A and B are shown apart, each in its own frame.
Chain A
Amino acid sequence: MQLLVFAHRAEAQTFLKLGNFKSVETTGNDLFFNSESYLLICGEGTMAALEMVSASLGLLKGKVTSVLNFGVAGSLSKKVIVDEIYEVRTAYAEIGSQIEFKSYSTKSTSLLDCISASNRVVNSEYAQHLSCFAQIVDREYWAIARAASNFTITFKAYKLISDNALENNSDEPICELVKTNSEYYSDRLYKHYKSLNSEVTNVEEKRLIDSYKDLYFTVSQYRQYRTVLKSLLSKYESEDEILKRVGMSIILEMEVLPKQKSQMVLEKMRELLTPFNTILNGKINTVLSPLKRANIQVKLSKNLESSMFNINASIRSESDLLQISTALSKFDFEQYQKLLKGDFNV
């Protein structure tokens, strides 16, 4: 469910009225719910908002999938027009008299950012200072975004511009204006909310591999398939091209179980993902084969960053000792070192 957050009850009045919201009894009189969403009045200022939103998300843990902030805000730029509603891209904040480094971004395509000021913006000099960082000013969005982010919940904000903060010179007229027009503002925000396509249906994409009935992927294999495919799609055009490169037609004709065919597809795909290292590992295995044949366990350096390697073997008899000694004498260390220094043909 969504959590709709407003700083003031007046901004939420239409939502409360038309949304048939009921109070969540265990809390004060600030958190509401209906069949589709929760609604919170968080109060003005970053401290109040951070506290209220964090507490509510804690209380509603697991129930909230996204946080939407609606409210009235001021313009800090010519391109932000009074009486328009804008989606916000990034939330910045002023904490005390300092600009806070941490910011919170949405995936919105909007080009407008919002700074949550620590005080009401009542003079143009203050507004000018804030305009260096964002085009919209409010008092709480950064805190709402921070709380949502802490709970790894997606967030968005829609701001209805009530005034041009760069032209403000006194607190009273603006606050008066906002109070007088609060019903109008709330109506506008509610209509905007209703027009939003709030739920994106998450339909799992059908994969070409699903059409091959001769393959059988276990759940784990299928998950691996999707992961490897995702990486390969940054190298190749399509799943179709990848499956052709994997040699799908040859694998399908093999007389093995469907599950084994799926495993082969996965192995070939991994080779496609790491073509260089597939060749390199093949060469290393060839050089190490005398040791492996003598049951000597070989542990190479991590990520092949060094030529050094460890061996481990069990000696139970003279013949074991002889076998190990013969294997070590057959082992071409120079060739191994050459491989680790990249001295070979691919």
Chain B
Amino acid sequence: MFETIFVEKHLASTKRARSILNKFPKANVTVIESVDDVFGKVKKPYLQKRETLNLFLGEKKGTLVKAAPDAYGLSGEPHYYFIHAYNCIYECNYCYLQGYFHSPDIVIFLNHEEICQEIERVALLEQEKGNTPWFHAGEFSDSLALSHITGELSLYHDLFSRIPYAKLELRTKSANIKPLKDLPPRENIITTFSLSPADKIKKNDLKTPSLKARLRAIKELAKLDHPIGIHFDPVVYDDGFEEKYRELIAEMLEVLPHEKLEYISVGVVRFTKNVFEQVKKNYPKSELLSTELIKSFDGKVRYNRPMRLWILSTIKELLLKASIAKEKIYLCMEDED
């Protein structure tokens, strides 16, 4: 899976690093002073991740918990994200990571205790203000895809068990729920799955588990009473759009009873200019490029306003018709919408 694993010198002999290194006996191991000495130093083409993907093990420095941008999660509450990894093993052709780090290599940070301390500090401050803070784990990586290797999930589980006034969102496209199944469910730890119609997953969520596999994972976790959230994001329009989403909602509700759905968010496909350039370069034959995209009011590339509002309201209608409570539906809209 990984060609070379770079590990920071001061971490090389730690239990956490050794446990990860032991899982990749065939990889070359190179000890470095700091991840920053190598990762992102050169522009490595994104698609080289298919053949020569490297892994970096290091310590996250600087700000460990960051305030999330507006329109990030459910509105009305403060949202934060923490960074325990950079990049993803999957290859979604719309993903903004392809234009973000100038390298597809994966970085895993190992100083989880420090990250947990900072989360607790921020959570306490928010609690004092009477807020319910949300912490998101999947800003620059998939929250669960590598969790069986990285092994940090139990630490965050312990933390959020101690601070029930704060919420943790584990956002994933994976079906890798084994480490989570071993932990007791908590009301404030919500696993959220990104779902799209099966053909869209095949075309756009490259190298990710199929819709069936994700639905199976949802079913298992729901049975164990783990709170589940769903993201229909990004929604890509095509000829059979409405029917495909009607079917997807039905399939979803077969495995996830209404009462076990925490919330569902809906967002229409959009790209920053840079990411769109990367998509054109990396996936010139992608259907995303032949859809009806325009350069929007804020410079982002997306469908025109009537189209994206129509898509959002159509999916909302479908969800309401499927008896999903209005309060659980969250539409990701821009200010201008």
* Interface of A toward B, CB cutoff 8 Å: 77-78, 89-90, 92, 99-103, 105, 111, 128, 131-133, 231-235, 273-277, 280, 303-306, 339-344, 346
Establish whether residues B45 and A303, one from each chain, have CB atoms under 8 Å apart when the complex forms: no
Counting CB contacts under 8 A, is B18 at the interface? no
Establish whether residues A344 and B43, one from each chain, have CB atoms under 8 Å apart when the complex forms: no
Contact of B309 among A77, A275, A303, A341 (CB under 8 A): A341
Bound Cα distance A340, B306 (Å): 5
- Given the contacts A99-B41, A101-B102, A132-B30, A340 and B305 also touching, CB distance less than 8 Å: yes
26 contacts between A and B (CB under 8 A): A77-B28, A78-B28, A89-B48, A99-B41, A101-B43, A102-B42, A103-B42, A103-B43, A132-B4, A132-B37, A133-B42, A234-B286, A235-B287, A273-B290, A276-B307, A303-B296, A303-B304, A305-B296, A305-B336, A306-B297, A341-B309, A342-B305, A342-B308, A343-B309, A343-B310, A343-B313
Establish whether residues B290 and A133, one from each chain, have CB atoms under 8 Å apart when the complex forms: no
Q: Which residue in chain A gives the minimum CB-CB distance to B283?
A: A234
Establish whether residues A305 and B305, one from each chain, have CB atoms under 8 Å apart when the complex forms: yes
Contact of B310 among A89, A132, A233, A344 (CB under 8 A): A344
Bound Cα distance A231, B11 (Å): 49
Establish whether residues B6 and A132, one from each chain, have CB atoms under 8 Å apart when the complex forms: yes
Establish whether residues B304 and A277, one from each chain, have CB atoms under 8 Å apart when the complex forms: yes
Q: Which residue in chain A gives the minimum CB-CB distance to B308?
A: A342
- Within 269-287 of B, Cβ neighbours of A (below 8 Å) are at 285-287
16 A-B pairs besides A101-B42, A340-B306 with CB distance below 8 A are A77-B28, A101-B102, A103-B42, A105-B45, A131-B30, A132-B30, A132-B32, A132-B38, A234-B289, A234-B290, A276-B292, A276-B310, A303-B294, A304-B306, A342-B309, A342-B313
Establish whether residues A303 and B295, one from each chain, have CB atoms under 8 Å apart when the complex forms: yes
CB proximity of B35 to chain A, nearest CB, Å: 11
Bound Cα distance A231, B291 (Å): 9
Establish whether residues A111 and B52, one from each chain, have CB atoms under 8 Å apart when the complex forms: yes
Residues on B with beta carbons closer than 8 Å to the beta carbon of A78: 28
CB proximity of A296 to chain B, nearest CB, Å: 22
CB proximity of A287 to chain B, nearest CB, Å: 12
CB proximity of B111 to chain A, nearest CB, Å: 22
Residues on A with beta carbons closer than 8 Å to the beta carbon of B239: 275
Establish whether residues B304 and A231, one from each chain, have CB atoms under 8 Å apart when the complex forms: no
Contact of A235 among B45, B290, B297 (CB under 8 A): B290
CB proximity of A309 to chain B, nearest CB, Å: 13
Contact of A305 among B42, B102, B304 (CB under 8 A): B304
Contact of A234 among B30, B285, B313 (CB under 8 A): B285
CB proximity of B330 to chain A, nearest CB, Å: 17
Bound Cα distance A274, B44 (Å): 35
Establish whether residues B38 and A341, one from each chain, have CB atoms under 8 Å apart when the complex forms: no
Residues on B with beta carbons closer than 8 Å to the beta carbon of A102: 42-43
- Within 62-100 of B, Cβ neighbours of A (below 8 Å) are at none
Bound Cα distance A136, B289 (Å): 36
Main DSSP-derived SS at the B contact region = mixed
CB proximity of A300 to chain B, nearest CB, Å: 11
Residues on A with beta carbons closer than 8 Å to the beta carbon of B307: 276-277, 280, 342
Counting CB contacts under 8 A, is B311 at the interface? yes
Bound Cα distance A182, B16 (Å): 49
* Interface of B toward A, CB cutoff 8 Å: 4, 6, 28, 30, 32, 37-38, 41-45, 48, 51-52, 102, 237-239, 242, 285-287, 289-290, 292, 294-297, 303-313, 336
Establish whether residues B297 and A305, one from each chain, have CB atoms under 8 Å apart when the complex forms: yes
CB proximity of B174 to chain A, nearest CB, Å: 26
Residues on A with beta carbons closer than 8 Å to the beta carbon of B289: 231, 234
Bound Cα distance A343, B48 (Å): 44
- Given the contacts A235-B238, A277-B292, A303-B296, A341 and B45 also touching, CB distance less than 8 Å: no
Bound Cα distance A256, B9 (Å): 77
Bound Cα distance A111, B48 (Å): 8
Bound Cα distance A181, B239 (Å): 64
Bound Cα distance A133, B40 (Å): 10
Establish whether residues A99 and B42, one from each chain, have CB atoms under 8 Å apart when the complex forms: yes
Establish whether residues B52 and A133, one from each chain, have CB atoms under 8 Å apart when the complex forms: no
Residues on A with beta carbons closer than 8 Å to the beta carbon of B313: 342-343
Query: Which 3 residue pairs across A and B have the least CB separation, nearest first?
Result: A342-B309, A342-B310, A231-B290
Bound Cα distance A306, B48 (Å): 41
CB proximity of A129 to chain B, nearest CB, Å: 9
Bound Cα distance A303, B296 (Å): 8
Bound Cα distance A133, B290 (Å): 36
Establish whether residues A341 and B306, one from each chain, have CB atoms under 8 Å apart when the complex forms: yes
Bound Cα distance A304, B313 (Å): 18
Q: Which residue in chain B gives the minimum CB-CB distance to A112?
A: B52
Establish whether residues B310 and A90, one from each chain, have CB atoms under 8 Å apart when the complex forms: no
Q: Which residue in chain A gives the minimum CB-CB distance to B238?
A: A235
Residues on A with beta carbons closer than 8 Å to the beta carbon of B42: 92, 99-103, 133
- Given the contacts A103-B44, A305-B297, A274 and B292 also touching, CB distance less than 8 Å: yes
CB proximity of A126 to chain B, nearest CB, Å: 14
Residues on A with beta carbons closer than 8 Å to the beta carbon of B32: 132
Bound Cα distance A39, B308 (Å): 56
- Given the contacts A131-B30, A305-B296, A343-B313, A232 and B290 also touching, CB distance less than 8 Å: yes
Bound Cα distance A273, B290 (Å): 7
Q: Which residue in chain A gives the minimum CB-CB distance to B102?
A: A101
Contact of B305 among A92, A103, A105, A304 (CB under 8 A): A304
Residues on A with beta carbons closer than 8 Å to the beta carbon of B30: 128, 131-132
Residues on A with beta carbons closer than 8 Å to the beta carbon of B310: 276, 342-344, 346
Residues on A with beta carbons closer than 8 Å to the beta carbon of B51: 111
Residues on A with beta carbons closer than 8 Å to the beta carbon of B242: 346
Residues on A with beta carbons closer than 8 Å to the beta carbon of B38: 132-133
Residues on A with beta carbons closer than 8 Å to the beta carbon of B45: 90, 103, 105
Residues on A with beta carbons closer than 8 Å to the beta carbon of B292: 273-274, 276-277
Bound Cα distance A111, B49 (Å): 11
Bound Cα distance A102, B40 (Å): 11
